[in-house]
Amino acid sequence: MICTTTFEGMARRAAQALGMATLPLVVVQHPLGGLQADEIMGRVREASERLGRLVGRAEDTLEAINAYYRAHRWTDGLPIVPPTEERVEAMLRAVPVDPERSLGRVPPLWCEATVEKVAINAVMAGCEPTYLPVLIAAVDALCDPAFNLYSIQATTHPVAPLLIVNGPIVQRIGLNSGSGVFGPGWQANATIGRAVRLILMNVGGAWPGEGDMATQGQPGKYSYCIAESEAASPWEPLHVERGFAPDDSVVTVLGGEAPHNINDHVSRTAGGILGVIAQSMVTLGSNAKWILRDSGYVVALGPEHAATIAADGFTKADATRFLYETARLPLRELQRGGMWQMHDWPRWMQAVGDPEARLPVVERPEAILAVVTGGPGKHSSVVPNFSIGQTVSRRIVLPAE
């Protein structure tokens, strides 16, 4: 901020009121009015020298920028990378598309998500330019009416968009598909997921307690991006299962709760492991799954569990069919849960009269998305969905294409 000596006090008070008490000031002698041209130029040179010294103080400058962004609620609470014109232009050069191209409207404010806005938030999140194609495809998928992003943004449920990436781009940009895949340590996973969250907040207006009404939320609302470990999978990868070519790079989006761990160090058969997983899929506390049975249910199999299942002769379709047949609860159990009283269950379920009838957690086996991801160990996880919409996949268009 540049001001004259007379206005220094007011400038500092204004900065403090905006939460920017550390904002650097360049103060020049008052007044400026009535001065000759050479006198004004002298003040300009003086201000320029002081400004140059301040800009060189990177720590103070970055602190002030982050304070400004926090005051305007343009960040997720973590420090951001300032989206300078140079950084945004470098990001946009990674993808030869019109920066003004709209990828759709982001609820609840329904503002346009242009490629340029995506690039700005990617810079802020700490993304490399090579990550931008993934983000463009992901935002395009999120804005697809079939996905119904509004149902995720506005709900009290702790659901967040989960990105699952497949194809050559996983290795190309260094996405983690191994140990700790849902956790920290990998720039691509962390910043791509974070950029999506910043877009949902800055473009869509999903601020906690306002546009985002989640009662408690979950860590995946900071960043939720994984890759499938295709090399460790005994089956075809998710994107091929969904109709894409093996050499396509694809991002799949769906609404996910936080991962629920499956710990099974004992089972030595496919039925044993899948039976344990099925038990974890039907908890009453998240029985909203029966209402939204076709929105997609992720079963993230650790490579060791997947290998045991495949060694028993199970294809991926066999595994998801087994889960479909096993992950059920009798009607009398479902009626004990609070969700039953909301009276928004499917009509065919409401018509069931037998209290012992076992109702599936998903409408069809294909709604279970089995992916192989993670590192060594006898652990897998399930990711329940809560979305009045469908799982959506998009091919990632790379610059060479």
Dihedral over Cα of 180, 182, 187, 188: its sign: positive
For the chain, give every domain's residue range.
2-71, 82-257+394-401, 259-385
pLDDT of res. 58: 44
pLDDT of res. 18: 61
H-helix or E-strand containing 27? strand 26-28
Residues facing residue 369 across a β-bridge: 298
Residue ranges in the chain modelled with pLDDT below 50? 56-58
Give the ranges where 146-216 is alpha helix by DSSP (H).
Answer: 149-153, 169-173, 187-202
For residue range 274-330, list pLDDT tens digits in order: 999 999 998 877 655 656 556 789 999 999 999 999 999 999 999 999 999 999 988
Burial class (CB in 10 A: 0-12, 13-18, 19+), 105: middle
pLDDT of res. 24: 73
pLDDT of res. 31: 83
- CA distances, 360 to each of 159, 281, 289, 349, 368 (Å): 21, 10, 10, 10, 11
pLDDT of res. 103: 98
For residue range 196-206, list pLDDT tens digits in order: 999 999 999 99
At position 362, the amino acid (one-letter code) is: V
Q: Which residue has the tokens 């709209």?
A: 102
What is this structure's pTM?
0.84
pLDDT of res. 5: 84
